[in-house]
Structure 1
């Protein structure tokens, strides 16, 4: 009798050249699914997949410095998610503090969400930051992204009262549309 298990062939690995097409597609699809209403479809329509892909290719092949990493989640051989991390040096006024890390992007293909890929990516990101000496992590959550807030909360991150406003695009009348993000953080 054959032995079957419920475990799928899922993993997280460092991104390699050639992954950038899937990463760009996943990021744009995830943003459309999660942020379309807040950012406005017009802003998302301006995204150039080729430019996004080129930026990811550069991040994978020539990261801007030590500690910048891109990891991908795979379902079998298929890339289904991405996380990128960066170091955050100790503040100048507290040079003996341990450094931290930032999660710059964490996206999973919409059809692959809620099956564990995001959790695996977050765990791998935190492990990577710890290996680099970080004792804390932070990321940004766009107002209205309740699913991301719930996900991060379940993983032990929480809002830390730091807020920023970003311009998401120009309206037809020439005015700008702004969005608000809240920083979420945790000790690791």
Structure 2
């Protein structure tokens, strides 16, 4: 039996955050993104870059409104004695969420935040980690005075679209087309948290 929770990321979590991101992207985006760009985003050189970026996010975020949260499982004593794959304090990072003031030019960053990342390790999906991360993100953003949250989602990422729609998010008409060897459409979702 493992205890679960969400907390602020620590510097020692950075390798696990990067590993979670890469595993989630490889699993979740394999039918969404072309193979070449996905490999570039998840390969060894990308892993080094993500480690540096997540380290910076933990150690020196641009503002106090930039946060990196992790979902963790804390294994009980018997499991951790036999397991050995936990992190600090026997905690294993199984999900990650990050948020910041919105940067899109049509949004007011004093009232609108952006959910930048919401990922759960593929071996730990459907255990409530995504919901806990989303709820913790909203709690922090409300405390910081934000009224609205947006996020960008690949239009073909049916799992994420379904999850966020069921949590009360909806499209706001904004979209992007990324050139990844073929056009990849993203849509912006929004929710009111006031």
The answer, yes or no, to whether TM exceeds 0.5 is: yes
Secondary structure of 1:18's match? helix
Give the Cα separation in 2 of the matches to 1:34 and 1:50: 21
The offset of 1:167, in angstroms, is 2.5
TM norm structure 2:
0.83
- After TM superposition, give the deviation of residue 160 of structure 1 in Å: 1.2
The one of 10, 16, 27 equivalent to 2:21 is 27
Displacement of 1:40 in angstroms is 1.5
1:87 matched residue in structure 2? 101
- Give the Å deviation of 1:53: 1.1
Query: For residues 90 and 53 of structure 1, do their structure 2 counterparts lie closer, same or farther at Cα, with a shift above 3 Å needed?
Result: closer
Structure-2 residue corresponding to 1:14: 8
CA contact (8 A) 1:90 1:99 kept: no
Q: Indicate the SS of the match to 1:137.
A: strand
1:78 corresponds to which of 58, 69, 92: 92
Gaps of 5+ in 1: 1-6, 169-175
**2:102–2:150 contact (8 Å) kept in structure 1:** no
Of the three residues 32, 35, 39, the one matched with 2:33 is 39
Name the one with the larger helix percent. Answer: 2
Residue of structure 2 equivalent to 1:182: 187
Pair 161,60 (structure 1): closer, same or farther in 2 beyond 3 Å: same
TM-score (norm 1): 0.85
Equivalenced residues, count: 173
Q: What do you get for the CA RMSD once the two structures are aligned?
A: 2.1
Structure 2 residues without counterparts, runs of 5 or longer? 75-90
Tell me if the contact between 1:89 and 1:99 (Cα under 8 Å) persists in the aligned partners. Answer: no
Q: Which runs of 4+ in 1 moved over 4 A?
A: 89-92
Say whether the 8 Å CA contact 2:97–2:115 is kept in structure 1: yes
Offset at residue 159 of structure 1 (A)? 1.0
Q: 2: distance between equivalents of 1:99 and 1:177?
A: 35
**Larger-Rg structure:** 1
Q: 1:8 to 1:136 in 2, by over 3 A?
A: same
SS at match of 2:64: coil
Counterparts of residues 47-62 of structure 1 (less than 5 Å) = 47=41, 48-62=46-60
